[in-house]
Amino acid sequence: MRSRVWSGTAAVVLGGLLAAGCGGGTKEDTAGRGPDAATASGGYPVTVTDCAGARTTFSQAPRRIVTSNASGLELLLRLGAGDRVIGTGFPPGKGTLPGALDARARQVKVLGRGVIPKETLLGSGADLYIDTFASMGGMGGGMGDTPTGKEFEAAGIKHVYLKSTACAAQAREPVTDLSAVEADITTLGAVTGRRARAERLVAGMRQKTDAVREAVAGTPAGSRPTYFLFDYDAGTKQPTVVCDRQLANAVITLAGARNVFADCAGDRKQVGWEDVIARDPDWIQLAVRDRGSAAANDKAFDQAEQWLRGNSATKGLKAVRDGHLLRIGSERTTIAGVRNADTVREIAAALYPGKVE
C-alpha cells in the first residue's frame, strides 16, 4: 500500500473542491478518477494549494509558462505542454534529457542560468510560474530576490510549486515512496489539461518501481545494503546529507537500500565526516549536479571519486575500498521527475545484480 506521507499537502484541488488530506477526500473530488473524465468536459476550474494550503485557481489552461529549473520544464515536455513554456531558469545541459526531449528543451528561452532574476521573471509575460523550490531557497538559501505574492499578482502570474521538493521540509512523515512526485505530475496534468498523459506517466513509473519492489522483496529490511548520497557540489569540508523527508530517501528505499542518514528528520542536514565514517556505507552515490554536457559531467564524477579516494578520512570507507561508487546525477535523485523511477531501477540493478535488469 502506498503511504500518503504528505498529509494533504500534496493533494490536488479540482473543480474548486479541496482534495484528500489525512482524513480522506470529499465525495466530489475528481483527482485521479477515470481516464480524463474532468478533461472531457473542459476540466476547469482547477484549484491547487501551496505548502501552507493557500489556493490558486485556474479557469483555463495557462498559455505562457516559465519554469524555475529543468525539472519543471522536463515534466511539461513529457506532458505535451512544452509548446507553452516561454522560458526557464537552471536550463538542462545539452544531452542530459533523453531523446527528442533534449532538442525541444534547447528551443526554450533561458531566462537565467541559475535563479531567474526577479525583474526578468516579472517582466516575462508569463501567466504561470512553476517553482521547484519554496521561495527559491531549496538549493541552499540566498537564491535571489523572490517576488512577493502581490508582485506576482500585479504581473498577472500565478505561482505554483512542485511540492515533493518545495514542501519537503514540512512533511510530517518519512518519504519512502514516489507518491508526492506522482501528485506533482497529476497536478501539472490537471492544470495544463493533460490529465490522461499524466496518468500514463504515473502508471509507467509505478510499473518500474513495482518491478524493483518485487525483485528485492526477498531481502529483509535489516539486511539491505547501506547507502550514502554524496552531494559533492554542496561542499566537501562538511557534507550535506539527505534525510528522511528528502525525495532521495524514497528513491534509495525503493531501490532496496538503506539511507545511512534516514534517522535525521527533515530534508537535508550538514554533518561531519566522522558521522559518515561511523556509518561506513556499503554504497556511495557520486551525486554531482548537471554541468551542461556529458563530458563535463564525467569530469565532475571523476573529481568526486578522486576526492573520496584521496582524502585520508574517506579513502578507508568500505564503499570506496570496494569500488561501490555509483555515478548518478543529483537532480534525477533529489528533484521530482519521471526519471526518479529510472534512478530507482538503476540503483537496484547495481545493488542486486541478476535480480534487477
pLDDT digits (tens, 9 = 90+) for 218-236: 999 999 999 999 999 999 9
Residues 122 and 192 in one domain: yes
Whole-number pLDDT of residue 7: 34
Can you give the residue range of the structural domain that contains 315? Answer: 220-351
Do 195 and 232 lie in a common domain? no
Residues in the chain: 357
356 domain-assigned: no
Average pLDDT over all residues of the chain: 86
Who has greater pLDDT, 274 or 138? 274
CA 333 to centroid of chain Cα atoms: 7
Same domain, 183 and 260: no
Q: What is the pLDDT of residue 144?
A: 55
Shared domain check, 133 and 281: no
Instruction: Kindly state whether residues 195 and 272 are assigned to the same domain.
Output: no
- Residue 158 within any structural domain of the chain: yes
Whether 62 and 192 have beta carbons less than 8 Å apart is answered as: yes
Name the range with the highest mean pLDDT among 8-12, 91-95, 117-121.
Answer: 117-121
pLDDT tens for each residue of 122-145: 999 999 999 998 754 444 333 457
Residue 270's DSSP bridge partners are: 240
Residue type, 166: A
Domain endpoint, select from 157, 176, 203: 203
Q: What 3-state class would DSSP assign to 138?
A: coil
Q: Model confidence at 146, in pLDDT bands (50, 70, 90)? A: confident
Residue 125 in any domain: the answer is yes
| Amino acid occupying residue 3 | S
Record the pTM: 0.85
Residues 41 and 181 in one domain: yes
Co-location of 17 and 54 in the same domain: yes
* Co-location of 148 and 274 in the same domain: no
pLDDT of residue 357: 80
Regarding whether 19 and 157 lie in a shared domain, the answer is yes
Q: Give the CATH number for residue 183.
A: 3.40.50.1980
Q: Is residue 6 part of a domain?
A: no
For 150, residues 6+ apart whose C-beta sits below 8 A from its C-beta are none
* 330-348 average pLDDT score: 96
Maximum CA extent, the chain: 64
Same domain for 193 and 224, yes or no, is: no
- 274 and 182, same domain (yes or no): no
Q: Which of 252, 241, 256, 172 minimizes the C-alpha distance to 211?
A: 256
Given 173, 203, 233, which residue is the final one in a domain?
203
The residue out of 177, 203, 229 marking a domain boundary is 203
pLDDT score recorded for residue 98: 82
Give residue 305's pLDDT band: very low, low, confident or very high (50, 70, 90): very high
Number of domain units in the chain: 2
pLDDT at 42: 60
